[in-house]
Chain A
Amino acid sequence: MKQLNKVSIDYILKDIDKEIKKRKPKHIKKNKKIKKVDFKLELKNRLKSIPLLGWFIRWSYNLARLNNLKHNLFIQQQQLLNLTTTLQQQLNEKVAHTTLIESEQKVYDLQKQLQKQLNEKVAHTTLIESEQKVYDLQKQLQKQLNEKVAHSTLISAQKDIQQKLNEKVDIQTITPPDIESSMEVKTPDFFENAQKEFHHKKSDSKDLDKSELYYSLFENAFYNHKVVLEKQTIYLKYIPDINTKEIPHLDIGCGRGEFLNILKTNNHHSVGLDINSLEVEQLKKDGFDVHHIDMIKFLKTTDKNFSSISALQVIEHIDYETLKEFIKLSYEKLEKQGVIILETINPNTPLAFNSFYMDETHIKPLPPQMVSFLLQYIGFKDIHIVYSTPLPKELRNKHDNTMNYHDYAVVGYKI
């Protein structure tokens, strides 16, 4: 045994290494893959098999969960209301120079991102891609300017920008307003407005599937048709021109058909799917090729291939196993060079959680890296994350731009 004063950590570590070398190699049991015990899922599945009572228990459980979240929801609801009002106001105004500033901001953000990537010694190919993105955005900006802004407005908008730049206004440094210790806000009549939008009265719908009517009204109360229509146009540039009647675009969870409308306007052939029969009926009346069918069932049974597939604000409604199966089937059903676009709520920003929990059919917020990884795992290449719906400037984060957008989409290609 060594004397205590001669002992040091190095001594001990050397003896440990000697001991390891001395050992005869033995077979060590390998870590078996553990099956995760998902009690919640198992219980949910069992309840599903019990008619009526099972439905009632699940419904009660969901109701109880909602109560638990009541406090958080209330605070976040106030934030959402403010946010919605601000966004609506901004969109309604459609002032040319606002668009200009926002687009320039996007270009600036991308340039910043590019610079960061350069500093991090990102591979040359990534650099080219990023430059391409900047170039695309600049092109888009130019197009917007040409189309929307009259020459005089442009000059005045540019003057405004110059003035603001000169003043070096940093929106992040503006002191937040003083507020009272409590605040009361009257709730708008969501239900009445939704009925007007959707042209269905609760009283004339006795024969309709109530859950579907409920969801349609909910959608009309909280997801503004015009706003959705406008925001989804950003995905148009990813849709390949190769689609035809035989090899069309597939829009999963087409809802009220905003994206189908955009595609139609731009001469793309498309097929839509949704599990809400009311919305499908309405779209059929409007002349769209839409089907009332579950997406997995459709993808498994259709003999068609597709040039591109979109699922906008859909993947947060499905469980992880279904998500994996959906992406796998989509990959199989896409033509070569085909593209997939999956849009969902951006969990990088806490402000998005209000919208997330607002919809009772949402299951799990999905981080963009996770969805990207899943696409890569299935075989998609050249994956991009497209952040959209910027937050108002006063709510933006100074350090992480991925926190400044309410939604994101993952775009991947079958090469």
Chain B
Amino acid sequence: MKIVILTPTLMPHDAIGNDVRHQCKAINQKVESKIYTQNYHKDEFEDFIISKDELNEIIKHKENIIIYHHGVLWEEGQEILKSAKCRIFLKYHNITHKEFFEPYNVAYTDMCFRGRLQTKAIVDLDKVEKYICDSIYNSQEILELGVSKDKISILAPFHKLDDFLNVPEDKTLIKELSKTKTNLLFVGRFAPNKGHRDMVEVINNYVTYYGRDIMLNIVGGQDEGLNNYISEIKQLIADYDLEDVITIHDKISFPQLHTYYKYSDYFLLLSGHEGFCVPILEAQMHKLPLIALDTTAVAETLGENQLIFKELDLDKFSASIKILDENNSYREYLIKNGTLNFNNYTNQLLEQKLLTYIG
């Protein structure tokens, strides 16, 4: 038996890419496993990547397995699934709803729209043996497409959190962060589903009641296709005169990211759509308490006994920062329970689960 993992792209610093790489490594302990992708970055996984001809040979045989990672529209991928005679597993990472992108980018909107249609088209092929979903939230979407419950399992994506263990801290940044009483952090792609507008509103509320000794660092890759959105958020920050308390960072180094996580006070998470949220685990690993809004898969990723609000009540969010600042025991409580949650997601545990699915 051979296993091929299918993904449209395999790039560094990408959650799906990290999942694919580790999955390939984990499966290889038991069965020969390869990766087929259209675009990839040359790294130590280059040797695992196979050509289309090799793929076509493998998928001819019914005892082999494809694990198809679905997180974006991929027409070639769908064609491969159609022609495959082997067993098919689908790893469902979710696709953002098109409505988030509609005001900003027609192409992204179209990609999201057709990506979601593709999920349905893949289900309609009726060839997928097992749907492995990143979260219960994702599994719900698959269920709604008419897939029976016994075909669905939950398995969080593999991550690279262990890389943080050996990374140095950025001393200049530590000094910079120490200048402000309260440092908030958000890490995630600069995209309309991530709730930047609401974060600005929370800070505006906080500043009105408690003063300006606060800083929100927004960290995350930006792309030109969303320039309108980025300009809109910057304009909002300027309109509220919050340039001194909110800073937007594009790409930063890994030691800087580690330092932000380690030396910030809270992680503010107001995202409107997450199929799974790796930054939650990154924050919990760094003993950083989270203040979050309950949407999509956020609550289940966050775990039990964490500070999460059902609704976006700006007063509650700003008051949370103040209350946590004044109560060390509250912070300790959130950190303790965050660590317990993080321990449920070690790559080792995820590997064991994955290998039982492969059989």
Q: Which residues of A are at the interface with B, using a C-beta cutoff of 8 A?
A: 1-4, 7-9, 11-12, 15-17, 19-20, 23, 26-29, 31-32, 34-39, 72, 75, 181, 347, 350, 353, 364, 397-399
A29/B204 in contact, CB under 8 A: yes
B148 in the interface, Cβ–Cβ < 8 Å?
no
In the docked arrangement, what's the CA distance between A369 and B191, Å?
24
- The 6 A-B residue pairs whose C-beta atoms are closest, nearest first, are A7-B333, A19-B319, A37-B231, A16-B319, A20-B315, A32-B239
In the docked arrangement, what's the CA distance between A104 and B126, Å?
29
**Looking across the interface, which residue of chain A has its beta carbon closest to that of B241?**
A29
B75/A75 in contact, CB under 8 A: yes
Given contacts A8-B305, A20-B316, A28-B205, is CB(A350)–CB(B117) below 8 Å?
yes
> Would you list which residues of chain B between 184 and 237 have a CB under 8 Å from chain A?
201, 204-205, 208-209, 227-228, 231-232, 235-236
B328 in the interface, Cβ–Cβ < 8 Å?
yes
B83 in the interface, Cβ–Cβ < 8 Å?
yes
- B114, B235, B316: the one contacting A16 at CB < 8 Å is B316
A residues within 8 A CB of B305?
8-9
In the docked arrangement, what's the CA distance between A49 and B201, Å?
40
A39/B75 in contact, CB under 8 A: no
**Looking across the interface, which residue of chain A has its beta carbon closest to that of B327?**
A1
Q: Binding site of B, secondary structure by majority: helix, strand, loop or mixed?
A: helix
Q: Which residues of B are at the interface with A, using a C-beta cutoff of 8 A?
A: 75, 83, 103, 106, 110, 113-114, 117, 120, 124, 146, 201, 204-205, 208-209, 227-228, 231-232, 235-236, 239-240, 305-307, 315-316, 319-320, 322-324, 327-330, 332-333, 336
- B103, B208, B239, B316: the one contacting A28 at CB < 8 Å is B208
Q: How far is the CB of A354 from chain B (nearest CB, A)?
A: 12
B236/A12 in contact, CB under 8 A: no
List 15 A-B residue pairs with CB atoms under 8 Å apart, sorted by A's residue number: A1-B327, A1-B329, A3-B329, A7-B330, A12-B327, A19-B323, A23-B209, A29-B208, A34-B236, A35-B235, A36-B228, A36-B232, A37-B228, A37-B232, A353-B114
Given contacts A1-B328, A4-B336, A9-B305, is CB(A39)–CB(B228) below 8 Å?
yes
B235/A34 in contact, CB under 8 A: yes
Q: How far is the CB of B319 from chain A (nearest CB, A)?
A: 4
A residues within 8 A CB of B117?
350
In the docked arrangement, what's the CA distance between A318 and B205, Å?
41
Q: How far is the CB of B177 from chain A (nearest CB, A)?
A: 24
B residues within 8 A CB of A31?
201, 236, 239
Given contacts A16-B323, A31-B236, is CB(A4)–CB(B333) below 8 Å?
yes
In the docked arrangement, what's the CA distance between A15 and B324, Å?
10
**Looking across the interface, which residue of chain A has its beta carbon closest to that of B75?**
A75
**Looking across the interface, which residue of chain B has its beta carbon closest to that of A364?**
B106
Given contacts A37-B228, A353-B110, is CB(A399)–CB(B323) below 8 Å?
no
B residues within 8 A CB of A27?
208
B residues within 8 A CB of A397?
120
